């Protein structure tokens, strides 16, 4: 009974000192880390080493993961190959159409029958006095 109360008493005495020493150590370490490039470099090296170690440890898992990701992408592509081909051929049609239009425009000159309204920007006949969209005089 006496021993137990004694040890409780001493624990309560030591604990604040222990916490203070620990906090002081953390503060000192923080200052050293901030002002000493050498310490920072050492810490960084530790971090890099641990990152390397983590990578080495999980290398096989990562390999499996990337392999299965590739497989998954392959599966998705294979499942949708017809749709993808359709989209690509539609894209080609659109490109072909715009190239054809551009070539035609270069050959014949730009269509001069329509101009843009100087106020609203809509297309109107180049000889119209008023815009058919906003009604303002040209």
Minimum gap (Å) between residue 123 Cβ and Zn ion: 10
Minimum gap (Å) between residue 98 Cβ and Zn ion: 26
19 burial level (CB within 10 Å; 0-12, 13-18, 19+):
exposed
Residue 26 found at the interface with Zn ion (CB under 5 A): no
Residue 134 found at the interface with Zn ion (CB under 5 A): yes
Minimum gap (Å) between residue 136 Cβ and Zn ion: 6
Residue 120 found at the interface with Zn ion (CB under 5 A): yes
Contacting range for Zn ion; rule: CB under 5 A; set: 17-25, 30-38, 57-65, 124-132? 124-132
Residue 114 found at the interface with Zn ion (CB under 5 A): no
Contacting range for Zn ion; rule: CB under 5 A; set: 5-13, 58-66, 104-112, 114-122? 114-122
Binding site for Zn ion (CB under 5 A): 117, 119-120, 131, 133-134
């Amino acid at each position: 009974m006496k021993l137990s109360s004694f040890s409780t008493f001493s624990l309560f005495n030591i604990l604040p000192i222990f916490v203070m020493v620990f906090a002081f150590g953390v503060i000192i370490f923080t200052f050293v880390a901030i002002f000493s490039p050498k310490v920072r470099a050492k810490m960084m090296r530790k971090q890099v080493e641990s990152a390397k170690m983590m990578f080495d440890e999980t290398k096989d898992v990562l390999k499996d993961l990337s392999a299965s990701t590739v497989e998954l992408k392959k599966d998705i592509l294979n499942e949708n190959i017809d749709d993808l081909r359709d989209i690509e051929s539609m894209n080609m049609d659109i490109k072909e159409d715009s190239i054809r239009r551009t070539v035609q425009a270069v050959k014949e000159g730009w269509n001069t029958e329509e101009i843009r309204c100087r106020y609203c920007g809509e297309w109107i006949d180049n000889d119209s006095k008023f815009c058919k969209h906003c009604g303002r005089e040209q």
